[in-house]
């Protein structure tokens, strides 16, 4: 985010790396209408609450200033004329104040408070005719009002300018109508221009400061979202890397690192709870012939298809991994040897029913299975694999495409 370059009165513009956050130097609003609407929605409730309080205070001050009128005019038609104008404006101020909780968007829209403020000018316009000797007092009141409407009444800066310039024009017109000479007109205009200029500078700094804070908030939210996206991306990448580290890249089955880790966990559970645990070896029949006749690319396709076919009959808790080449390893938690043979037979049948088409011809894929059960004297997975591998060797010599079983000696 670039810094805001500003003079004492007119900040040039605020800009992040996004042009949507540019702030106009003249009306102290975002040049992008969508960003300005978002700002209004963000501050709407707070602005409405503050504006309602300011309007009530304004109404209170107008009411208590009826007392000086009484002291100056007494029980006269002039007093009641001023009182009627005063109380009409008080009614408008209070009416808007009590409407704002129900219509808070009126506060950020700006026009309701603008018209209510302008509606109070007839009271000050009437003062020189009712109390001609109090011109200096009336002028001081107008100066205070012009400054206050900029500083204490939250509104859009261009609408506050409209309120101030309307009051300025009415006072100057009043002096002209009263027969003031050029010097008096210029003097009054200069006196009123002072609170307008000061009020404009103060309101401009307040409005731009608020929008700078909002832009900083948006930038922080963007940064947080970007950080959250980056964290999510890193987590996804980490999960993908972990997946790649634990799976066989060709078949997507567990690789040696993963199935040995999972087997170690199941072996601990077997020793603690004495639940049965079976392990099997699977070797595809005549796979070398497939590679030699159809090429290694087709052989890889066969291995992927075989992996899917072998996985289909298994439970969620069962573990199927690629042992190497055309060999697979099967770990069956809470499964006895007889149950493991039944599961292996289902897998063998599923593989036989898997059609692999090559050049219009169906290639039959079979496998030999050897199942064994973990026993007390098995120290690690290597002991069990050796036992299953011996049974697998016997199955190959017995004609392949079958399920063999072997119990611990």
Could you give the percent of the chain with pLDDT greater than 70? 93
Task: Tell me the sheet residues that pair with 367.
Answer: 284
**Burial environment of residue 14 by CB neighbours within 10 A (0 to 12, 13 to 18, 19 or more):** buried
DSSP SS3 for 367: strand
29, 36, 266, 326: which one is catalytic? 326
Q: Tell me the C-alpha distance between 103 and 46, whole Å.
A: 13
Please write the tens of the pLDDT for every residue from 156-210.
999 999 999 998 998 888 888 878 899 989 998 998 999 999 999 999 999 999 9
Question: What distance in Å separates the CA atoms of residue 15 and residue 23, rounded to the nearest whole number?
Answer: 7
More confident residue, 42 or 141: 42
- d(Cα 158, Cα 319) in Å, to the nearest integer? 72
At residue 327, the 3 state secondary structure works out as strand
* Whole-Å CA distances, 354 to 107, 252, 304, 323, 346: 72, 18, 12, 21, 13
And the tokens for 344? 């292996």
The conformational region for residue 69 under phi > 0 = left, psi -120 to 50 = alpha, else beta, is: alpha
What is the CATH number assigned to the segment(s) 256-406?
3.30.70.270
d(CA 75, CA 275): 105
Task: Categorize the per-residue pLDDT at 5 as very low, low, confident or very high, splitting at 50, 70 and 90.
Answer: very low
Banded model confidence at residue 6, pLDDT cuts 50, 70, 90: very low
Q: How many CA atoms lie within 13 A of 217 on its CB side?
A: 11
CA distances from 173 to 103, 170, 176, 178 (A): 36, 5, 5, 8
Residues of the chain with CATH 3.30.70.270: 256-406
Give the per-residue pLDDT at 93: 96
Q: What is the pLDDT of residue 134?
A: 61
Q: In 134-255, which ranges are continuous DSSP H helix? A: 135-151, 157-177, 182-246
Sign, CA torsion 126/131/135/137: negative
CB 276 within 8 A of CB 336: yes
Question: Is the four-CA dihedral 141, 144, 150, 154 of positive or negative sign?
Answer: negative
| pLDDT tens string 249-288 | 999 999 999 999 999 999 999 999 999 999 999 999 999 9
**Lowest model confidence (mean pLDDT) among 35-49, 144-158, 335-349:** 144-158
326 counts as catalytic = yes
Question: CA 306, CA 251: separation in Å to the nearest integer?
Answer: 9
């Amino acid at each position: 985010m670039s810094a805001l370059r500003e003079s004492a009165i007119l900040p040039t513009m605020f800009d992040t790396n996004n042009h949507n956050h540019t702030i106009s130097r003249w009306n102290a609003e975002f040049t992008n209408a969508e960003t300005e609407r978002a700002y209004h929605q963000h501050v709407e409730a707070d602005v409405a609450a503050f504006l309602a309080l300011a309007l009530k205070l304004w109404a209170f001050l107008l009411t208590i200033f009826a007392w000086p009128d009484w002291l100056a005019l007494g029980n006269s038609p002039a007093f009641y004329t001023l009182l009627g104008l005063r109380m009409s404006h008080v009614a408008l101020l209070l009416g808007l104040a009590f409407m704002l909780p129900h219509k808070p968007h009126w506060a950020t829209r700006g026009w309701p408070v603008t018209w209510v403020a302008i509606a109070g000018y007839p009271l000050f316009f009437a003062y020189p005719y009712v109390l001609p000797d109090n011109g200096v007092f009336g002028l001081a009141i107008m100066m205070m009002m012009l400054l206050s409407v900029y500083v204490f009444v939250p509104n859009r800066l261009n609408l506050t300018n409209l309120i101030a310039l309307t009051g300025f024009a009415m006072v100057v017109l009043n002096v002209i109508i009263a027969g003031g000479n050029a010097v008096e007109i210029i003097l009054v205009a200069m006196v009123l221009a002072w609170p307008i200029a000061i009020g404009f500078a103060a309101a401009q700094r307040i409005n731009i400061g608020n929008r700078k804070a909002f832009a900083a908030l948006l930038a922080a939210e963007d940064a947080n979202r970007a950080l959250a996206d980056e964290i999510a991306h890193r987590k996804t990448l980490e999960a993908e890397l972990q997946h790649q580290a634990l799976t066989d890249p060709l078949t997507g089955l567990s690789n040696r690192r993963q199935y040995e880790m999972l087997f170690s966990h199941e072996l601990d559970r077997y020793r603690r709870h004495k639940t049965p645990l079976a392990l099997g070896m699977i070797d595809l029949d005549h796979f070398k012939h497939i590679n030699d006749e159809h090429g290694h690319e087709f052989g890889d396709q066969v291995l992927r298809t075989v992996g899917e076919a072998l996985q289909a009959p298994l439970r969620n808790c069962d573990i199927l991994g690629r042992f190497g080449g055309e060999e697979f390893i099967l770990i069956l938690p809470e499964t006895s040897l007889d149950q493991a043979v039944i599961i292996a037979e289902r897998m063998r049948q599923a593989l036989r029913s898997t059609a692999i088409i090559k050049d219009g011809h169906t290639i039959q894929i079979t496998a030999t299975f050897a199942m064994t059960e973990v026993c007390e004297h098995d120290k690690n997975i290597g002991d069990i694999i050796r036992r299953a591998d011996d049974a697998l060797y016997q199955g190959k010599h017995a004609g392949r495409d079958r399920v063999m079983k072997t119990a611990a000696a």
